[in-house]
Structure 1
Amino acid sequence: MNSVMNSGMNLQYTAQNRANDAAQRIANGDVNAEPLVQLQVAKNESGAAAKVIKTADEMLGTVIDTTA
């Protein structure tokens, strides 16, 4: 279960880094479409990470409920 939570956290970290890099490129005047695409990818990654973390949290809650 801990590995599921870690996977979600790692994906969130990746999404945040991707968004930061894309934002920096946009701030530096990069007018190509790629930074915008990367922002969308980061948004999707972040949403997926949130779902993974939520699922891990629910699984942990279920384990605690069944062992209590």
Structure 2
Amino acid sequence: MEISGSAFNSGINTIQAGQRRVDQAAADIASNAVAAQPQPSSAPPATQVNPAPSSAEQRRPDLAESLVALRQGQNEAEAGAKVVKTADEVLGTLIDTSA
């Protein structure tokens, strides 16, 4: 039964890791969308052609990377769910054959 318990734990851990990745990617995408909206402020001085990006803009995650991470998290959670389902089926088969 230890093998089945390990499989369940691995599947649950993988689902949780995928969920964390999805949550982080969603937060990055949301912060990117908020940062992309024009801020109501005065225009930069005419002498400044390309102003240096603010620290918030420098730390802003790339939208493409966030979307890839979102998909990776989804795939990770789905893979964990398949592991849990398979472990459940194996355990059911073991119970049926031992009864």
Higher helix share: 1
Identity of aligned residues (%): 50
Residue type at the aligned position of 1:61: G
Structure 1 counterpart of 2:22: 19
| Whole-angstrom distance in 2 between the partners of 1:42 and 1:32 | 15
Q: TM-score, normalised by structure 1?
A: 0.93
Q: Shift of residue 55 of structure 1?
A: 0.4
Structure 2 counterpart of 1:43: 74
Q: Shift of residue 31 of structure 1?
A: 5.0
Structure 2 counterpart of 1:62: 93
| Whole-angstrom distance in 1 between the partners of 2:63 and 2:98 | 54
CA-atom RMSD in angstroms: 1.0
In our comparison, the structure showing a higher alpha carbon Rg is 2
> Tell me, which stretches of 5 or more residues in structure 1 are unaligned?
none
1:10-34 per-position Cα deviation (integer Å, ceiling 9, x unaligned): 0000000000000011111155211
Q: TM-score, normalised by structure 2?
A: 0.65
1:25-65 per-position Cα deviation (integer Å, ceiling 9, x unaligned): 11111552111000110111111111101100001101110
